[in-house]
Amino acid sequence: MSPQDKFSAALQGIPLVGILRGLRPDEALPICRALAATGWSLMEVPLNSPQPLQSIEAIAAALPDALVGAGTVLSADDVRNVHAAGGQLVVSPNFNPEVVREARRLGMVCLPGVMTATEAFAALDAGASGLKIFPAEMITPAVVKALCAVLPADTRLLPVGGITFENMGAFRSAGACGFGIGSALYKPGMTAAQVSDNAMKFIAACAGTIRA
């Protein structure tokens, strides 16, 4: 299954990206296997984590059905390094056209961070697979709804930052197709069991928004 197919399948199932900031290589497999056991298949290790490429390489090899990659990807060199490690997903806090174009060239799913309509259209023109609406603490569901009114109908919007059980429904109703979940899912020092429990709670909350 191609990275794009994996992404589309995840959005139809559990449209949640696990942001595993601070993950160490020695805990990468226990944490990510626990996530995968819940059905969670979108996982990113931010590049400002300890030895992130080692973690990405281990996770991608152990969980070939998951869409695994990196967050905080800031340059085309970063994209190539993630690809060389086996990553298929590139997530950024910002929109850099060189990052998007390189990810697309390598067949990777690319989710640049945007906040405005200008950034959103530019990112889509560059070939973004979807848009990370970031930081969501600064963007209300009303803003997401307004963006959806002008962006192409098939645009995938994923708010990230401050996503909670309580606000998922409002963002989903506004047009968000998924979410990135960070410290509410995983913080350094958490056990695999704790992460699994958090994952199940977010899956249940997200399922509630989907049914609504």
Give CA–CA dist 149/175, Å, rounded. Answer: 9
Report the amino acid identity of residue 169: G
- The strand order across the sheet containing 157-159 reads 113-114, 131-133, 157-159
Report the amino acid identity of residue 187: K
Other CB atoms closer than 10 Å to residue 90's CB: what's the count? 28
Q: Which two tokens stand for residue 117?
A: 């309509």
Residues with a known catalytic role: 44, 132
* Residues 180 and 163: beta-carbon distance below 8 Å: yes
Q: What are phi and psi of 190, to 5 degrees?
A: -70, 150
CA distances from 89 to 4, 18, 77, 110, 193 (A): 9, 12, 14, 6, 25
Give CA–CA dist 34/8, Å, rounded. Answer: 22
Q: Which two tokens stand for residue 175?
A: 């047009």
Q: Which residues pair with 69 in a beta bridge?
A: 44, 89
